[in-house]
Each structure stands twice: as C-alpha cells, then as structure tokens.
A and B are shown apart, each in its own frame.
Chain A
C-alpha cells in the first residue's frame, strides 16, 4: 500500500506526520518504507537517522553534438521546445540545464551527429532507520514488537519501561543545487523495487509537476492542512489535484488553535470549518485533528519524534494508522 503525504502549503506538518507515522508503523511491526520525495529540500533523515546509506546518482540524457558530422542545418534547434539546443552562426550550442531529455534532437538530426550523454542532476540514497521507543524515548507505546521489527503485531498494552527497537527502510532523493528538474529523481525513487507492506511517500509541497509525480501512483493520499487561511487556500489547491486523479483521500487538520470562545476573531475555527466543508463536498475523510502546541515545534526542531513524547500526537498517529489498516484490509 502506497500512502502519499501531501500539502499545498509548505510547513503544514507533512514531514512531521510522515516520519512519525513511519516510526510508529515500524514499531507496530508493519514492514515499512519511508521515501522522501521532497527532493528539493529532503528533511526526513533529520528525524529518522538512516544508517548505511547507499547512494546512486540520478542522471538524465542530454545531447552532445559531433562538430565533425554536423553541417549546421538547424533541425535540432527547430524541434527543441525548451531552448536547450540552438544553432548560432552555423554551430550547434546546447544548454543542458534547460533540456527535458525528450530525445527529439537526436531523432531529427539527418546526419546522426547528435548523441546523448548522461548528466548528473542529483542522487538517491537508501538505508535503514532504527527507531527506538519505550525506555529510550520516554515511551508511551502500547504495541509489542520483536527486536528487529518483525511481522507480528499483537497490539497488546505493554509496560512503559519496555524498550523497543524497530527497523524501517529509508529512501530519499536529493536534487543538486542549481538544477531545476526534480521529477526524474522522484521517478527513480518511486520505481525502485520495494517489498514493504506500507510505503510512505513524503511529497514535495505545492501543486505542480513534482507534487503530481509523487502522488499519482499512490493508493491513498493524506493531505495535511494547517488550520489557517493560508492553510485553507493551499489545501483546496492540493485537494483539486487529488480529485483529478481520483485517489481516496484523508485529511489531517494541524495546528488547530482554539480560543476560549471559538467565535473570536483570532480562532482557527473559520479555516477549520472551511477545510471540513471541502472534505464533506469531496468525500475526503477527516483522519485526525492536532492542536497547536509549542512543545511539538520544540521537539521537532531538534529532530525528535513527537509520537513517542506527546500523547495527542501519539493518539493522532494511532488513529491514522488504524484507519489505514482498515483501508488496506478493504
């Protein structure tokens, strides 16, 4: 099962939820992979501390011209829609960073003067994260796990002092600085062979091509919405994308701020209501509501996993995971 965590707005809490859910799922004994597809700014590793990372370069094919064969006919420049290849004073000049790797120039060249070389635009890395719960992290975990995160899930309440260790598979992509195109890296990440039962995709923010690429193959999308007017605006945009693909969707309302009387001007009520209304209209289910707690920001700022320290976060993650389990079971 592939679950994509997305949010129109950056900073809505997508990575926080994705890494905590991955950790809790692993501790519950679910064979889990966390895949950081926010390749422009991958952050999951700060929370999941992957070990033994193996790196593979991501490359894209770009044209090279054999000047001895080229007669400067200009056909390559005509077919290129991205201004990546041009004929200037009878000589072909290419701009590899603009190239979309469509291969048109190589196909159209009548003299076979254009071939392709691989150009590095970033890399992907895979490793293993060991998640500690129980004694080491002031544990409140209720689920028994075997020492290396085996398959069993007894769902029994265990003592707070019991140490738990679980492993999960960690993958991430990183775009090189100065490179514009993140989609090829996301494609490489999402087509790697994977044997997990739960594949968690941490999507890039926004609603354009890279976000689309990361959610399109998902079985279920969790949209994380911040309960503010900014959050509402961007949530709707992301919701439109999910609707376009017809993927089932659940929503987590984050940073809900309650004032004493919820009608006061600075309560998050209106944004929250707007998000819920959009959910009702579009058949999205509300999976959890998380209040605005400064402590969550403090723990997250140091790369801590809040699910093991803050009860409301733990309850929210548990609720989401339970719901996902029901969906998986069909």
Chain B
C-alpha cells in the first residue's frame, strides 16, 4: 500500500483540486482530507456518509461551583490564563484551557474535574472514486493534529479492508502540528506550489519539514505561466536539492470554473490545466511505483 500526501505550505495553491483530480485519474483510491480546519475535498467529491464518529480530542477543566471554596489555588497553578477570577469566584475559560489537568490535581477540595471535550467529528464516506475519510473540527477547537492522526489511521484501515493499494491525503497548510501529523510515516509528499515569491518561500519551509522527517518529496508548480521566471527558479531549486520535479500546471480559468461547479479539473474539462494535471499524476504514480 502506498500513501501520498499532497501539501503546499501556502494555502490556496490548488492542492485540494489536484487531489480530487488524482483520485479520478487513479480509478479506485482511498482519499483522506487532513485539512481538518477547513476541509474542502467533500465539496468536489460529493461523498455519501457511511459512518460518523464523534471526535473527543482532549479534556477541559470544570469547576463544581457549589463546592468551590474560592481558595484560588487553581488560578495560581494555571499557566494558560484559563482560570478566570472574579472576586472569590473562579471559573474556567474553556477556550483557553489546554486540558493539562494541573488545576484539578492541585485543587485542595477536589472540586475540579476534567471532562472529555467533543472537538468535532469524522466520517467514512463513499465517492465515485472510492472511500473518503474526512472530518470537521469544531470552530475554535484544539487538537487538530490528533484528529488528523485519527483520519489517517481510518484511511489505512479502510484501504486494507477493501483491498485498495493507494491512499491520497489532502494535507493542511503550514508546517505546524496538523501538517506534521499529516506527513509522518507516509511514503511520499507532493508539494504543490505557485510561482510567487511568497509561495516559494512557504514551499521551501514545507520541504525542510519533509526532510526533517525523512520523507521523499516531489514538487509541482500550479499556475506556472503567471510568472515563468519564478517557475524556473523553483525548478532550479528542486534540481539543486535533488527533489524530483513532477511538472507544471498552466493557469487556466477552467480551474476556478471547475471549482465553482464543485468538480475536479479532470472531470470538468479536457483543456490545458486538465492535461497538465494528468501529466503530474503520471509522474507521481511512477515515482511511487504504482502499477497500472
């Protein structure tokens, strides 16, 4: 089984549209949407939900107000300013609470409990191209890294159960905990970038991240003809660093139009962008050693 994670560093580079196209081009695959903060893959792949699982990410402190003596010890030991003080009344700001449990441990009256907190839910669904594992993190919630790990674990399980040999993961932007959780232990990452100085800056950081975790990295440039100069610089950078260059996808209004219609570019048109995306997928498939 092979698992490829598509990441970008910078958001909005067309990562999700590419993932949806790859899924279509690959035939039957398991997709996992690990951009749990702002999941989008379901918009294009139109999943039918098969299973829905509540995600309990962490714990949150709760003070039993009736039994609290107002000693303030919880306020003293909390490092996250999550214990609000109003005279001798103490309460927990659940948004600031990290769930560390230090207040509960040191409450002399033992009136603070750590309650499991529902942070969202995740789903196993069916699409035209195979199962999709996706999730919804409640707005403002923590523990997105943990949720990503749950989603990837489920994707593996489903792939094994259904005898599917390819998992395509839509990673999240950035280089912090959700991305780290998205890429660790995968077979390869494909970094999708754009020819802009800012996207180039971001993709370098995400490549460093993949290198840090010793994962094979490929790179491709979307909207490559917006700035041919920078596209050239990215290709050069890849060659110098020994990163296989998976190709370019030219700017094509069909890309946005497809998205607006809720379709992948491969499904929507057979224009320049669509044929470029097929080229990139062919490259990725060969690099991963996936047979036809």
Q: Which residues of A contact B (CB under 8 A)?
A: 8-12, 15, 38, 40-41, 43, 46-47, 79, 81-82, 100-104, 107-108, 175, 177-182, 204-212, 216, 226, 228-230, 233-234, 237-238, 240-241, 244, 255, 257, 265-268, 270-271, 292, 294, 297-298, 300-303
Contacts and interface: CB of A to CB of B under 8 A. Distances in A.
Contacts of B173: 10, 40-41, 205-206
Contacts of A265: 260-261
24 contacts: A9-B11, A9-B40, A41-B201, A43-B202, A47-B198, A81-B101, A104-B102, A177-B208, A179-B176, A182-B174, A206-B144, A206-B172, A207-B137, A212-B95, A212-B140, A229-B262, A230-B259, A234-B40, A241-B139, A265-B260, A292-B256, A294-B226, A300-B196, A301-B194
Interface of B: 8-13, 16, 37-40, 43, 58-59, 77, 79-80, 95, 98-102, 105-106, 137, 139-142, 144-145, 172-180, 194-199, 201-202, 205, 208-209, 212-213, 223, 226-227, 230, 251, 256-257, 259-262
B274 to A, nearest CB: 15
Query: Among the interface residues A102, A211, A234, which one has the most CB atoms of the partner chain B within 10 A?
Result: A102
A136 to B, nearest CB: 19
B212 A178 contact: yes
Contacts of B178: 208
B139 A268 contact: no
Given A177-B205, A208-B142, A301 B230 contact: yes
Contact of B140 (A177, A207, A268, A298): A207
Nearest to A42: B201
B174 to A, nearest CB: 3
Contacts of A208: 37, 137, 140-142, 144, 178
A225 B79 CA distance: 35
B227 A233 contact: no
Contacts of A206: 37-38, 144, 172-174
B205 A41 contact: yes
A182 B144 CA distance: 13
Given A8-B38, A40-B176, A228-B260, 8 more contacts: A10-B8, A177-B205, A180-B180, A237-B37, A265-B261, A297-B223, A301-B196, A301-B230
Which 3 residue pairs of A and B lie closest in terms of their CB atoms, listed nearest first? A10-B11, A11-B12, A206-B37
B212 A107 contact: no
Contacts of A300: 196, 198
Nearest to A47: B198
Nearest to A14: B11
Given A204-B174, A208-B37, A234-B40, A43 B198 contact: yes
Contact of B201 (A8, A46, A238, A266): A46
Contacts of B251: 294
